[in-house]
Structures are given as C-alpha cells and as structure tokens.
Structure 1
C-alpha cells in the first residue's frame, strides 16, 4: 500500500462531492487530496491518523481535513465482535474553497469560516456535542439537490466555525504537495497499525521499508515528526484509551493486549500521552 494522491474522475469539474458510504471497512491507505474533506462517522470505531496525530474515533466522530493533508481511518477488529457482516457508515463531504463561488470566504461575514478552513491544514476534530447538534443535517445532506447541498454545506461550515468545541489535530504542517507518494511510509504505518499488539523492533519496520535502521529513522522522523518509538507508543496508548472507554477489561489485561509487557511502563506512557493514569482516565469517563 502507498500514500495516495486521490483525484477521482467523478470529482473533476465539481466543487462539491457528497456521499454516504456503507462499507465493510474504512480507508486502507494513507492518502491525501486537493479538496477539503468533512468526514462524519455514524457507525464504527478504531484509530485515525491525521498528519502526525494518532487518536481513537467512535460513532459521532466529526473531522475536517484540509487539502493535501494525509489521513487514514482504520477500524479496530473489536468493532466487529465476530459480526463479519457489520458495516461502517460514514458521510463524506468533499469540497473546494470556492464551492460557493470565487471569493465567497473573503467577505467579512464569512471571516470565521475562512479562519477555520485555513486552520484545517492541521486537521480539526469537533466535540461530539457539536456533531450531535448537526447530526440530522449531516445525514440528510446526501438526499438534497445539488443546489441545496451547497447551501446546507455552507450553513454547516458556518456553524462549525463559530463553535469553540473543536481542537487542532496535527502539531505540524504535514501537507503533501507532490504526487510522488512515499510508498514506504504507507507500508510502515499499515504494518504498525496491524501489529502494534506484538513485539515490533526498529529492525522490523526498517525491513518493511527496505531501508537501513539509520536511514529509516531519518526518513520516518522527517515525514511523521515523530520517532518510530514515539509513534508506536501513540498507537498503543490510543488503542488502550479506546478500550478503557468501550470495554470493562482490567487495566492490566489492556496493558498486555496493546503490546506492553510492563504495567509500570504502560502507566508511564499512558500518563505522558493522555495526561492521566489509565485508572484516572477510566474514572473520569
């Protein structure tokens, strides 16, 4: 698999492309595209990667991804719980910054929308209270005529721009402006997200990338803004945080199930990344 520049034929000469997806699983490749993307998850859970951000997602997840920002949503196997026919339901809204005409967001009344779109180069996640408040609009927008879709999208973006319940995801500008996609990085991210529960060494991932360990470390840091160890810990801890929310398993069991062999180390890494101990995190929720 590789990091893909998506330029689907059915989007050519279109400024808004809105559709629902009901599929067995979400994206299989780390990818980016020229359009902005507003993605709403109505059914599914797992881990999402947006720029250098790694976070769990749940039903109600609403994220605005800026143009050329690499992203990937991956389902976790626990979502299916033996139900192999269970589907993932999403609403996908792709649009250009001129979908309402040239210079629309230069008008003072849309200054907040303009700021939000500029900030989306880092990816923006909206609180579930926000997504719940516009849930019906997100679910019904696909049934509207093209004209009303654009009007509804403008209203949604305006509402989102006014809320304070949103957070920036990526810590750095990770946008890709070249069509030469780093196949190696996509293969590594896929390998880590599928094998984080097992022992993964630096040699293992360097071999996946077909590189020496020194070359891989420089390559991975440049493209993700994280070392391999930092990235692996984030994937493990974010999965652990999701399990603490969704499951009643003992913390020690969750520790081992995400790849840690030492509970003290698990607690240390969890607090460093999440700001709370696993016990405090579960209690807070």
Structure 2
C-alpha cells in the first residue's frame, strides 16, 4: 500500500503564509499537513473528502481545514477548466500569541472548529471567493490584511457546515490512512470497469466481510455506494463538457441507462438530463 503523503509547506518568500493558484487536476493526492488550509475551487464537479466526511460539490467549494486532517485534493478528477486558490499557514503564523489578542477571539474559536473541517455556503462563500480571488494581485501587506478579513468573515458567518463530528487527525491510525489511500487509487483506476470488493479487500490485507465493515465505518457508505458516488461525480464532469447522457452512462461504467438515471437521481436529486440543462443552459 502506498502511504498517505505528508505535504511539506513553506511560506512564500517575504510572507508568513503560502498562497497558490496551481491545480493538480486529475491527480490523486490523499494527504495531510500540520498547517491550516483554505481551499476555494471553482468549476466542475468534485469530491469533498475530509477526514471521515465524504460528499461532492458542483460548481464551487470553499473549505477551511485544521492541521493534520487527511483529505483529498479538491480538484481531483476534474475534467473541466477550473480556478483554484489555496492559502496555507501555521496556527502561529503571526507569532505564538497571535490568537490571544482579544480582538481575535472569534477567529480563535474558528481555528478550533476548523479541526473538524468547515464548508462555507451561500452569500458567505460568494463574499469569501471574491476576496480570495483578489489576493494574488495585492502586495504582501494587503494580502495579510485581506486574509485576516477572510478569517473574520468565516468566524462570524452562520452559513457554515461542520464536516466531521469528531477530530480524527491525531487518533486516526497510520494504517487507516494507508488503507484509504489504496482504496482511492484502486477505484480511481477502475471505476469505469467493475471494481471488485474482494480484490481491494485482499489488497489491504483484510477479509471481504471485515473490509466491508471497516469501509462503512470510515466513510459512512458501502463500497458499492462509494463506487457509484465516484462514477456519478465523473459523470457530472462529462455532462458539463456537453457529452450526451447515453455516452456519459457507458463511459462511467454503467451498463444500463435506466440504472444510471436511477443512481444519478438518488445522489443528486435530479436526473442527468435536468442537471446538464440547469448548468449548461
């Protein structure tokens, strides 16, 4: 099994944090790091896997993650052109007593909540997205001021979803991280074929029954549901490229159009034709 990767992060030259706009795109990167991270991704349909939380987003996503929380890169598998902005920083990026200032009491609470993973929605997401998209064009001082404003907006917003019920960054065993990495890589390589639960169970050195129990505990869904989730996520990206529903169905491993429509509707609440029409037209 390939181990989960520790991403090494260094602040940009002359700054106390790192700001980047590059994308992995199509690459699988199941990883963690001791830094806090803000991720804004815009365009396409992607997977949101943070700790034990697994879901998907369409069009855009804005996440704030605490230290050492294992997560998948949010641009993973996207087939459309996207924009991405990532801000990474240590908790004491402005000094050890940074969060002790009384003016930053709300931000201190925000940093604690980020250890569970936070997703921002609605007007808050739009407002934060605009500030983040402006940051690369600012000088270093104004970038810092803008980042503090981003934190204050996050800290006072009600349009936020906590992704995990418990922090698992420190108590999640390394073996669990390695197993999830192996599972993701297998499904990524074979979702359009017939991923075999017996094969992946053997790959991670478990019986099939033990694997099924383990996987349900780790993700909240069965392996079959997970494979379908990945297939539908890829299907949405193909539909956003204006591929036909029939072509998308067979390209993502479904053998019957009626079953594809049923699974798509179950996961997204609408059939693929309506999804395509709503986002493309």
Name the SS for the 1:94 alignment partner: strand
Aligned to 2:40: 40
Q: 1:7 to 1:237 in 2, by over 3 A?
A: same
Deviation, structure 1 residue 138: 2.1
1:58-73 equivalences under 5 Å are 58=59, 60-73=60-73
Name the SS for the 1:78 alignment partner: coil
Output the CA distance in 1 between the equivalents of 2:265 and 2:28. Answer: 30
Name the SS for the 2:215 alignment partner: helix
1:121-270 equivalences under 5 Å are 121-127=115-121, 130-135=124-129, 137-142=131-136, 148-170=142-164, 173-177=167-171, 180-181=174-175, 182-244=177-239, 246-270=240-264
Q: Is the 8 A contact 2:79 2:238 kept in 1?
A: no
Deviating more after overlay: 215-224 vs 174-183: 174-183
Deviation, structure 1 residue 70: 1.4
Q: Is the 8 A contact 1:61 1:128 kept in 2?
A: no
Q: Is the 8 A contact 2:28 2:72 kept in 1?
A: yes
Deviating more after overlay: 136-145 vs 90-99: 136-145
Q: 1:283 to 1:105 in 2, by over 3 A?
A: farther
Q: 1:114 to 1:194 in 2, by over 3 A?
A: farther
1:76-115 equivalences under 5 Å are 76=77, 78-79=79-80, 90-102=84-96, 105=99, 110-115=104-109
Aligned to 2:5: 4
Output the CA distance in 2 between the equivalents of 1:185 and 1:267. Answer: 28
Output the CA distance in 2 between the equivalents of 1:276 and 1:63. Answer: 25
Q: 1:252 to 1:117 in 2, by over 3 A?
A: farther
Q: Is the 8 A contact 1:124 1:167 kept in 2?
A: yes
Deviation, structure 1 residue 243: 3.6
Q: Is the 8 A contact 2:63 2:119 kept in 1?
A: yes
Measured on the aligned residues, the alpha-carbon RMSD in Å equals 3.6
Name the SS for the 2:84 alignment partner: strand
Output the CA distance in 2 between the equivalents of 1:277 and 1:89. Answer: 27
Q: 1:282 to 1:110 in 2, by over 3 A?
A: farther
Query: Given the two structures, how large is their TM-score scaled by the length of structure 1?
Result: 0.75
Aligned to 1:53: 54
Question: Is 1:273 the counterpart of 2:267 in the alignment?
Answer: yes
Deviation, structure 1 residue 178: 5.6
Q: 1:15 to 1:122 in 2, by over 3 A?
A: farther
Q: Is the 8 A contact 1:2 1:30 kept in 2?
A: no
Instruction: List gaps (5 residues or longer) in structure 1.
Output: 81-87
